[in-house]
């Protein structure tokens, strides 16, 4: 009873801050309504251990109890995650979570290229069969789409994102580009098909490299496109254009300067590049849940720190665009397709893609959508256009109209 009353006090505070009606069911069957009206969601605790985990570790305790099926969430799962964010549940359990977060960063550092490769493969090496059902078809872009007014599908948003990037860096048929962290090659294929540019993709994940090499050969594009399996810091030569979409988040705190320095070394003097990454506005620690359960070795830098390192490398920043609002519909689409195709994904490997995996990934996809949708969030999505040395009127327009001109 004492635990129930203490928990009731905490829940009422969460309800006030989150401004949503919900309910909690305790292991003994006691039903606790929070707020007035019909509950938007109900959190069902099956064990006393799950209650203690929440008391000790806040959102981490709650999420891990959910992953282990000691907690269920009935009703609107997205609303439950949004309420937790709005109520500041992620700020509880600070000491324990902070200690684990620090230890995780030390254990999964990307300083050693072999560790960086293992970190990348843990997430991106799940196989084309896993990713294909819920990413856009056929490009399989696993990064934020571009959703200007009138956009109606994930496929359209991802094609528009690639076009937006190509126009920002003024990619032309005579250019040779490097795609740092090329994934399944969606940018490379569209840039070659629509513009005729030639390029090299860099990827640390063996599974993606093998698939991409086969796909390049199947399309007969060996003369135009190649892929290197290497660390992102391994600079082979200089290119006319540098494209980096969703790679910087994997650099790690200690490797930020080194990875941005590699971006600079890849670019020819007078060339243009784009750095597309998730970044914080202000200095914050990277969320433990993301590091521990989704992206080992991942680290979200601040925009300010990225700009400082770019300046140190002799890169001129030409444009910074914040596309935070575009990530929520991208993640919404991924989450809906993930849920829709889960039975087929599970059949690929029922041991790997089990119920715990499903719960981790739906929390990741839906939770990140709510994070980017939040008006109070500090995690954003930036595209920085940069040059190697100062541009002139001859190699870069005097206005920013060119990405938006009719074509």
Per DSSP, which regions of 26-85 are E strands?
31-34, 41-45, 71-75
Q: Which of 383, 266, 238 is nearest to 321 (CA)?
A: 383
Domain boundaries in the chain?
2-92, 113-404
Question: Superfamily for 2-92?
Answer: SCP2 sterol-binding domain (3.30.1050.10)
Query: pLDDT for 62-95, tens place per residue?
Result: 999 999 999 999 999 999 999 888 877 766 557 8
- Which positions ≥6 away from 140 have C-beta within 8 Å? 128, 131, 132, 183, 184, 186
| Interatomic CA distance for residues 99 and 107, integer angstroms | 12
Q: Where is average pLDDT lowest: 5-19, 40-54, 276-290?
A: 5-19
At residue 285, φ and ψ (nearest 5 deg) are -75, 150
Query: pLDDT for 301-356, tens place per residue?
Result: 999 999 999 999 999 999 999 999 999 999 999 999 999 999 999 999 999 999 99
H or E segment and range at residue 208: helix 206-218
Contact of 44 with 26, CB cutoff 8 Å: no
CATH of domain 113-404: 3.40.50.150
Query: pLDDT for 37-69, tens place per residue?
Result: 899 999 999 999 999 888 888 889 999 999 999
| Interatomic CA distance for residues 329 and 307, integer angstroms | 27
Question: Mean pLDDT over residues 92-114, rounded?
Answer: 84
278: three-class secondary structure by DSSP: strand
Query: pLDDT for 350-401, tens place per residue?
Result: 999 999 999 999 999 999 999 999 988 899 999 999 999 899 988 899 998 8
pLDDT for 91: 65
Contact of 140 with 154, CB cutoff 8 Å: no
- pTM of this prediction? 0.95
Largest interatomic CA distance in the chain: 75
Contact of 27 with 75, CB cutoff 8 Å: no
> Can you list the alpha helix ranges (DSSP code H) found in 71-147?
77-86, 94-107, 113-124, 128-131
């Amino acid at each position: 009873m004492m635990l129930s009353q203490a928990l009731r006090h905490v829940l009422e505070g969460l309800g006030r801050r989150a401004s949503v009606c919900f309910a909690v069911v305790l292991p003994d069957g006691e039903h606790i309504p929070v707020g007035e009206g019909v509950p938007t969601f109900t959190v069902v605790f099956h064990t006393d251990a799950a209650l203690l985990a929440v008391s000790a570790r806040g959102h981490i305790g709650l999420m891990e109890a959910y992953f282990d099926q000691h907690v269920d969430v009935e009703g609107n799962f997205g609303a439950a995650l949004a309420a937790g964010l709005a109520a500041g549940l992620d700020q509880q359990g600070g000491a324990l979570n902070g200690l684990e977060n620090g230890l995780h960063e030390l254990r999964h550092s990307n300083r050693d290229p072999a560790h960086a490769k293992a970190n990348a493969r843990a997430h991106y090496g799940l196989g084309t069969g896993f990713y294909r059902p819920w990413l856009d078809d056929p490009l399989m872009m696993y990064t934020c789409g571009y959703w200007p007014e009138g956009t109606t599908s994930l496929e359209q948003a991802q094609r528009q994102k690639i076009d937006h990037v190509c126009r920002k860096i003024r990619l032309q048929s005579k250019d040779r580009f490097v795609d740092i962290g090329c994934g399944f090659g969606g940018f490379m294929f569209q840039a070659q098909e629509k513009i005729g540019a030639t390029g090299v993709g860099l990827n640390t994940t063996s599974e993606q490299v093998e698939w991409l090499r086969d796909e390049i050969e199947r399309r007969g594009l060996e003369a135009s496109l190649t892929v290197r399996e290497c660390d992102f810091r391994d600079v082979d030569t200089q290119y006319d254009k540098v494209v980096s979409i969703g790679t910087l988040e994997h650099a790690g705190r200690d490797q930020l300067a080194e990875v941005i320095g590699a971006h600079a070394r890849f670019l020819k003097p007078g060339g243009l590049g784009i750095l597309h990454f998730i970044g914080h506005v202000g200095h914050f620690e990277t969320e433990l849940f993301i590091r521990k359960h989704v992206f080992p070795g991942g680290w979200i830098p601040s925009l300010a720190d990225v700009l400082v390192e770019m300046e140190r490398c002799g890169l001129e920043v030409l444009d910074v665009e914040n596309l935070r609002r575009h990530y929520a519909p991208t993640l919404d689409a991924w989450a809906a397709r993930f849920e829709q195709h889960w039975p087929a994904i599970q059949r690929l490997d029922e041991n790997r893609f089990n119920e715990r995996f499903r719960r981790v990934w739906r929390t990741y996809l839906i939770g990140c959508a709510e994070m980017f949708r939040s008006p109070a969030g500090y995690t954003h999505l930036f595209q920085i256009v940069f040059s190697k040395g100062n541009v002139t009127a001859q190699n870069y327009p005097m206005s920013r109209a060119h990405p938006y001109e009719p074509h």
